[in-house]
Amino acid sequence: MERSSQDPAEEAGRNARNLAEEIIAGRRLKEGEPAVQCLLTSKVDALCQAADRIRAAFSGDHVDLCTIINGKSGRCSEDCKYCAQSIHSKTGCETYAFLDEETILHAAMFNERAGVSRFSIVTSGRTLEGESFEKAVRSFERLNRECRIELCASMGLLSEVQFRRLRAVGVKRCHNNIESSRNFFPHICTTHSFDQKLNAIRAAQRAGMSVCSGGIIGMGESWQDRIDMAFTLASLGIRSIPLNVLIPVPGTPFQDRTPLSEEEVLRTVALFRFINPEADIRLAGGRKTLRDNGRLAFSSGASAAITGDMLTTTGSSVARDRAMLTEIGRDVTPEWMRNAASAT
């Protein structure tokens, strides 16, 4: 019998290109369908090129840049195994209470002048309550009054009432990562559940906020876990999906995890674009482990990024990111700046 000379990876690549065109035309992938497997078996270059066709169709050349400030650091009661801020880890992480308004305002205005789209206050802990939450409300109220940059909050498992209060003072988006799949989540954290994450996300949505939610790769999860996470985010209607690459922090339970290859990261970015074609796939923590600050990822389906330093690790400067993105033909003009220009 004559053998086919067809390379299975090349055939999968052709299938990925065809699938990309179908997605652009309106098809949406479903959990368990055979087409998903071509995302894992095609050559990574072909897959990333196909994913970038989808990115161009739905996000165009605009890249959404956001920055974060660590508004309250350390002493977190939760046992997330990747996190330097957990009391269950021994990392020597800096600890402080909620920052003063002037420090937060200075950081927001600095990033606004640098041409960043969004600014988020991120706080450690299961949730934010009491006087710390009141300080957050007052800080956002002032930022909304004195800045044009879009405001986001990442403050854990807040209630719908709390989300409504934040929305009333100008916070348009909340961030709450689901971290991984439902199946893998208990291997990451035992002090709160996957369902509590989902409940908080739905509470924010009911309060009128858009939600930024994604996860971390490189924690020991399987490809199926990544696929399941991508489909969970699709089912929630998430339109901003941050993908973090684990940076193993000494003193945490995940300190000895093996770093991912760049190819595996790029395949993951592409996979998330196929399953969530209309979302911003946002490069987040760990981007500095990729060559040229993740330049190739922006041609593999990514359409957004966190710029500047992360919570407990360093990132890439805003100026460096803007220069790199401009060089590859991306538009980094913030929406608030476009709106201001059109209003004059």
In Å, how far from its chain's centre is CA 181?
15
The lowest-confidence range among 92-101, 114-123, 206-215 is 92-101
Residue 35 Rama label (left phi>0; alpha psi -120 to 50; beta)? alpha
Residue 79 has pLDDT above 80, yes or no: yes
Please give the DSSP secondary-structure letter assigned to residue 301.
Answer: T
Each residue's pLDDT tens digit, 139-177 = 999 999 999 999 999 999 999 999 999 999 999 999 999
Res 335 pLDDT > 60: yes
Q: Is the pLDDT of residue 3 over 50?
A: no
Alpha carbon distance 42, 8 (integer Å): 8
Helices (H), 25-118: 38-41, 44-59, 101-113
In this prediction, residue 10 carries a pLDDT of 74
Say whether pLDDT at 309 is over 60: no
Residues 184-209: tens digit of each pLDDT: 999 999 999 999 999 999 999 999 99
DSSP conformational letter for 295: G
Residue 269 CA, distance from chain mean position:
11
DSSP letter for 174, please.
Answer: E
pLDDT at 106: 95
Per-residue model confidence (pLDDT) at position 188: 97
Per-residue confidence band for 316, with pLDDT thresholds at 50, 70 and 90 = low
Locate 263 and state its tokens: 């190819």
* Local confidence band at 2 (pLDDT 50, 70, 90 cut-offs): very low
Percent of the chain with pLDDT over 90: 82
Mean pLDDT (the chain) is: 92
Two structure tokens written together for 39: 């995302």
Whether 344 has a pLDDT exceeding 80, the answer reads no
Categorize the per-residue pLDDT at 293 as very low, low, confident or very high, splitting at 50, 70 and 90.
Answer: confident
Is this structure's pTM higher than 0.85?
Answer: yes
Mean pLDDT of 2-11: 63
89 — pLDDT class (breaks 50, 70, 90): confident
pLDDT at 74 (0 to 100): 85
One-letter amino acid of 254: F
**How many Cβ atoms sit within 10 Å of the Cβ of residue 231?**
18
Could you tell me what percent of the chain has a pLDDT over 70? 94
Residue type, 276: N
Handedness of CA 306, 128, 218, 23 (dihedral sign): negative
Contact (CB, 8 A) for 226 and 267: no
Domains and CATH numbers, the chain: 56-343 (3.20.20.70)
The whole-number average pLDDT for the span 56-63 is 97
How far apart CA 149 and CA 172 sit, in angstroms, is 11
pLDDT at 6: 65
304-333 as b/e, with b when 16 or more CB fall inside 10 Å? bbbbbbbbbeebbebeebbebbeeeebebe
* Amino acid 88: pLDDT: 87
For 216-274, the pLDDT digits (tens) are 999 999 999 999 999 999 999 999 999 999 999 999 999 999 999 999 999 999 999 99
Q: What is the pLDDT of residue 7?
A: 76
**Is a pLDDT exceeding 80 seen at residue 72?**
yes
